[in-house]
Structure 1
Amino acid sequence: MEKYLEIIKNSYSGYFNYLKNEIIYVNHWDNYFYGLIIISILVWILEIAFPWRENQSIFRKDFWLDTFYMFFNFFLLNLIVLIALSNTVAEFFNDFLGVFGLSISSFQLFDVDNLPKVLGLFIFFIVADFVQWNTHRLLHCVPLLWNFHKVHHSVKEMGFAAHLRYHWMEPVVYKSILYIPLAIIGGFDAQDVAIVHFFNITIGHLNHANLGWDYGKLKYIFNNPKMHIWHHVKDLPKHARYGVNYGLTLSVWDYIFKTNYIPYDGRDIELGFSGDETFPKDFIHQEMYPIKFKKKDDI
């Protein structure tokens, strides 16, 4: 028990120092703090220059709430919960395997460090995106998880910052499910991962932005604003009770597994979910909402 408490303590102090240095010192290209700000400003400029919904305000509905979510979830959430939880769970899992004379490396299929860098990054990107696509489906299909995911679907006007409006439990679910698949691959350089992470953030921001783009033929590979807005549609088609267009960065999984749905130009469709009229409008109550779980909640 003492070991785990020490891990938690070191995780907090380590991440606090990391975050402080990210803000104070801009001496490396993979600075997540300023990277997020730069990507957000650039996508926001695109929204202003090429608005899909021209009558939507630059400071759209819940713009500042989503901006707060963006920084809270990307930085403060790690400080409060995720880093300590991730490190503790990882150590506990390794200790559990140790009882059977195993370690996580026992399941490692190969080490991406032994592959050409481009191939290693590609494998990491594909595996992570596919696992996250499946996790996203779970968030819609499992009532308990959907109750958390409602926070993200409470967005009523789409804009880039809506990308990071989500309940703090979501990354716990994503990271927990993603841990073993990535551990099986093994061997990731932090700067290499940053390349993939910045790319995913950019695509995610664009998906939620007020832009009418579909990237032409690339729409069958990459998620895009014209596709993702249908993921947020309030009135789902009868054949897809739980949702459509689950892709995060890639759209290809939806086309492969027949969960793609773009019936017409969705520029002016109503967003949300059934019963969202009574959903909390502020950060604190949205975070507390899942505690009041109802067995017969609307999907």
Structure 2
Amino acid sequence: MQKYLEIIKNSYSGYWNYLKNEIITINHWDNYFYGLILISLLVWILEIAFPWRKEQSIFRKDFWLDTFYMFFNFFLLNLIVLIALSNTVAEFFNDILASFNLSISSFQLLDVDKLPKVLGLFIFFIVADFVQWNTHRLLHRIPFLWNFHKVHHSVKEMGFAAHLRYHWMEPVVYKTILYIPLAIIGGFDAQDVAIIHFFNITIGHLNHANLGWDYSKLKYIFNNPKMHIWHHAKKLPNHVRYGVNYGITLSLWDYLFKTNYIPHDGKDIELGFKGDEKFPKDFISQELYPIKFKHEN
């Protein structure tokens, strides 16, 4: 027990020092704090310059709520619970394996350090995106998880910051499911992973932005605003009632597994979900919603 308490303590102090350094020091390219701000400003400028829904305000509905969510989920959540929880669970899992004279490396199928860097990053990107695509499907299919995911789908007007409006339990689910597949292929360098992370953030921001782009033939590979708007559609036919277009960064999986759905230009479709008029409008109430309404589907 003492070991786990020490891990929790070190996680808090370590991430606090890291966050302070990110804010104070801007002399390294993989600075997540200023990287998020820069990507957000650039995509917001694109929204302003090339708006798809021209009547939508620059400061759209819930703009500031989503901006708060963006920084809360990307930084404060790590400080409050996520890093300590992740480190503790990872150590607990390793201890269970050790009791059977095993380690996570016992299951490692591939060490990307032994591959050309570009190929290693490509494998990391593909594996992570496919696992996240499947996890996203689970968020829609399992009622318990859907109640958490409703926070993200409570967006009524799309904009870049809606990308990071989600309940704090979502990254717990994603990281838990992603842990073993990534550990099995192991050997990632943090700076290299930052390249993928910034790319994913950019695509995610663009997917939610007020932009009418589909990237032409690349739409069959990359998720895009015209595709993702249908993922947020309030009304869908019964045969796709659990959702469509689950792609995180890649649209490829949706086309491969027939979960793609773009019946027409979705510029003016209503966003949300059935019963969203009763969904809380403020941050605290949205965070508490899944606890209070666990029974809802």
Q: TM-score, normalised by structure 2?
A: 0.99
In structure 2, what residue type is equivalent to 1:161? A
Aligned to 2:83: 83
Structure 1: how far apart are the matches of 2:79 and 2:187? 24
- Residue 238 of structure 2 aligns to a residue in which SS? coil
**Is the CA contact (8 Å cut-off) linking 1:15 and 1:83 kept in structure 2?**
yes
Does residue 94 of structure 2 align to residue 94 of structure 1? yes
In structure 2, what residue type is equivalent to 1:58? I
Aligned to 2:222: 222
In structure 2, what residue type is equivalent to 1:256? L
- Residue 239 of structure 2 aligns to a residue in which SS? coil
What is the alpha-carbon root mean square deviation over aligned residues?
A: 0.5
In structure 2, what residue type is equivalent to 1:232? H
Structure 1: how far apart are the matches of 2:293 and 2:187? 40
Aligned to 1:12: 12
Deviations 1:183-219 (A, max 9, x none): 0000000000000000000000000000000000000
Deviations 1:5-54 (A, max 9, x none): 00000000000000000000111000000000000000000000000000
For this pair of structures, how many residues does the alignment match? 297
Structure 2: how far apart are the matches of 1:224 and 1:33? 24
**Is the CA contact (8 Å cut-off) linking 1:280 and 1:286 kept in structure 2?**
yes
Cα distance, 1:138 vs structure 2: 0.3
Alignment of 1:1-299 (within 5 A): 1-295=1-295, 297-298=296-297
- Residue 287 of structure 1 aligns to a residue in which SS? helix
Cα distance, 1:241 vs structure 2: 1.6
Structure 2: how far apart are the matches of 1:219 and 1:97? 42
Structure 2: how far apart are the matches of 1:185 and 1:174? 17
Structure 1: how far apart are the matches of 2:251 and 2:294? 32
Cα distance, 1:238 vs structure 2: 1.4
Structure 1: how far apart are the matches of 2:38 and 2:171? 23
Q: Is there any run of 5+ residues in structure 2 with no aligned partner, and where?
A: none
- Residue 211 of structure 1 aligns to a residue in which SS? coil
**Is the CA contact (8 Å cut-off) linking 1:144 and 1:293 kept in structure 2?**
no
Seen in structure 2, the aligned counterparts of structure 1 residues 100 and 255 have a Cα distance that, compared at 3 Å, is: same
- Residue 222 of structure 2 aligns to a residue in which SS? coil
Runs of 4+ residues over 2 Å off in structure 1: none
Structure 2: how far apart are the matches of 1:117 and 1:171? 27
Cα distance, 1:249 vs structure 2: 0.1
Q: Is there any run of 5+ residues in structure 1 with no aligned partner, and where?
A: none
In structure 2, what residue type is equivalent to 1:271? L
Cα distance, 1:110 vs structure 2: 1.3
Cα distance, 1:82 vs structure 2: 0.8
- Residue 239 of structure 1 aligns to a residue in which SS? helix
Deviations 1:85-111 (A, max 9, x none): 110000000000011110000000011
Q: TM-score, normalised by structure 1?
A: 0.99
Structure 1: how far apart are the matches of 2:23 and 2:294? 41
Structure 2: how far apart are the matches of 1:218 and 1:81? 38
Cα distance, 1:236 vs structure 2: 1.4
Structure 1: how far apart are the matches of 2:217 and 2:41? 27
Cα distance, 1:294 vs structure 2: 4.2
Structure 1: how far apart are the matches of 2:290 and 2:266? 29
Structure 1: how far apart are the matches of 2:80 and 2:236? 35
Structure 1: how far apart are the matches of 2:237 and 2:94? 44
Cα distance, 1:293 vs structure 2: 2.5
